[in-house]
Amino acid sequence: DEAALLLKRLQSQFGDIDISNIVATEEPKDNGDDDAESEESSVVDPTPEELKAWQDAQFKLGKWARDAKKEKELSESELAAEALKKRRQEKIVKSSSVGSWEEVENPPDLQGQESAFFTTPEDVELVGAHPLLTKLASNDSDMLGGKWLRLYSSGIAGDGLSFHHLLSALRGYDGPTVTIIGTIPSEAHSLANNTSNKGGGILGIYTATPWKESGAQFYGTDDCFLFHMDETKEEVSVIRPKSALENTSKRTTNNQNYMYCNASSSGNSADATSSAVYGIGVGGTPSKPRLHLTETLEQCRALPFDGTFEDGQLLTPTENEDSLYYFDVDALEVWGVGGEGWQKNALQARNVEQERIEANLRKARTVDKTQLLDDFRSGLFVADSNTLFSHVEHTVGRLDDGGSNDCRP
C-alpha cells in the first residue's frame, strides 16, 4: 500500500536511522458509522528540529569515521610525535634546578643495564632508582620516567670510546635520547702542571628531537635541556632553552640553535669560507657551540653561556679554571627514553636506516664481472699492449740501463 511504499522509500533515503521513530502511521478506526470508510494512512513529515538533529548526528558519525581511519593509518611513532607536540603545548616548565629529592610518579628504570654513571657501592643497598637518575627524571617525568634503553656505552667492548660508533648508534634512531658524558680536564689546554690527580664531572643533554647528520645547520625544538650532575652532593642542575622559559605570546628569544651533528665523513661540510666545527654541537654557533663534542672526543668544550640556553656552568671548577672550559671525554653513554612503544619504533627505524646504508656499501663494493669482461673484449684493457702493463716494461727498461736493484715482480 501507499504507506508501506512511502516508508520503504524514506528508509532507503535515510539509511542507518530508524525512520519509524519519525514517521507514524495511523490505522483506520471503526467508529460504527453506517458507511465505513476505506483504510487510510497518514504520514507525518519530520519537523525542522528533528531533521537538523539527524543531520548533526550524521555529521558526527562521519567525523568519527574519518578520525578513526586517520588514526589507523598513522604509525605508532607518528602518534607518539603528535602526543609529544600536544604535551609540549601544555607543558608547564619546572624549576631549572632540582635541589631536594622528590618522588617521581613514573620512576626511571634501567632494566638491569649497567651504567658508568648510576652505580652504588657494593655495601650500599639501593631501594628504587639511583638518586641522580631519579632527580634527572623528575625534570620531565613524562619522557624520562619509565624504562630506559641503552643505545651506546663507551664501557662496552663492542662500542668503545669512539665517535664513529656513537654516530652508528644514533643514526636513524627516531626517538628522544639522553646523552651522558663523563669529563676530565683537557691536558692539551691545562694551565696546571699536573692534571692526572684532578677529577672530572658529569654533564649531558636530553632532547626529544632525534639526532641526525645536519652538517653545520642547527635544528630541533626547545623540548630539550642541558644538565650537570654533582655526584658528591647528589644534585642535578638543568639548563633549559631561554625560549622554553618565556611566555609564548611575548617571546623575545629568536635564537634557536638547539643541536647539530656535523660529521667530516658525511660529506655535509660547509663551504671553504665557513668556520663551522666538526662533531656534535648544542647551543652557541656553528663555529663556537655551547657544548661541543669533537670527533676525537678530546679537547671538547662546554661554555657557561650562549644565546639559546640559560646561563650556567656545565663543568667542574677545575675544568673551568685550569682547562679554559675544555675537557676530554672519559665515558659516554646514550639512552633511549620516552616509553617502550617509542623505543620499539625508533629501533625499527634505526634498523631500516642501517640496512639501507649497508646495502649501498655492498653495491659500491660489488664488481660487475660482466661489464669487466666486456671491457676486456672491447679492447679497453689489452694485456699484451702498452696500455695496461706498460709501467712494468718501463721499470725493467730503467733497470737494464744501469739500475742496480732488481725490483721486478
| Per-residue CA distances from 227 to 125, 181, 233, 295, 310 (Å) | 27, 10, 15, 21, 11
* 3-state DSSP of the chain: CHHHHHHHHHHHHHCCCCHHHCCCCCCCCCCCCCCCCCCCCCCCCCCHHHHHHHHHHHHHHHHHHHHHHHHHHCCHHHHHHHHHHHHHHHCCCCCCEECCCCCCCCCEECCCCCCCCCCCCCCCCCCCCCHHHHHHHCCCHHHHCEECEEEEECCCCCCCCCHHHHHHHHCCCCCCEEEEEEEEECHHHCCCCCCCCCCCCEEEEEECCCCCCCCCCCECCCCEEEEEEECCCCEEEEECEHHHHCCHHHCCCCCCCCEEEECHHHCCCCCCCCCCCCEEEECCECCECCEEECCCCCCEEECCCCCCECCCCCCCHHHHHHCCCEEEEEEEEEEECCCHHHHHHHHHHHHHHHHHHHHHHHHHHCCCHHHHHHHHHHCCCCCCCCCCCHHHHHHHHHHHCCCCCCCCC
**Which pLDDT value is given to residue 409?**
42
Cα 223 from Cα 244, distance rounded (Å): 8
**Which pLDDT value is given to residue 51?**
81
**Which pLDDT value is given to residue 122?**
66
Q: Are strands 259-262 and 146-147 parallel, antiparallel or unpaired?
A: unpaired
| Spatial contact of 329 and 300, defined as CB atoms under 8 Å apart | yes
Amino acid 144 reads L
| Spatial contact of 214 and 260, defined as CB atoms under 8 Å apart | yes
**pLDDT tens, the chain, 409 aa long:** 667 777 777 766 666 666 666 655 445 445 555 444 444 445 567 788 888 888 888 888 877 777 776 665 555 555 565 666 555 555 544 433 344 444 456 889 999 899 999 987 765 666 678 899 999 999 998 899 999 999 999 998 778 999 999 999 999 999 999 999 999 999 888 876 655 556 789 999 999 999 999 988 999 999 999 999 999 889 999 999 998 776 554 555 568 899 999 998 876 544 444 688 999 999 999 999 999 999 999 999 999 999 999 999 999 887 887 888 999 999 999 999 999 999 999 999 999 999 998 888 888 777 666 666 776 667 655 555 454 444 445 444 444 554 444 444 4
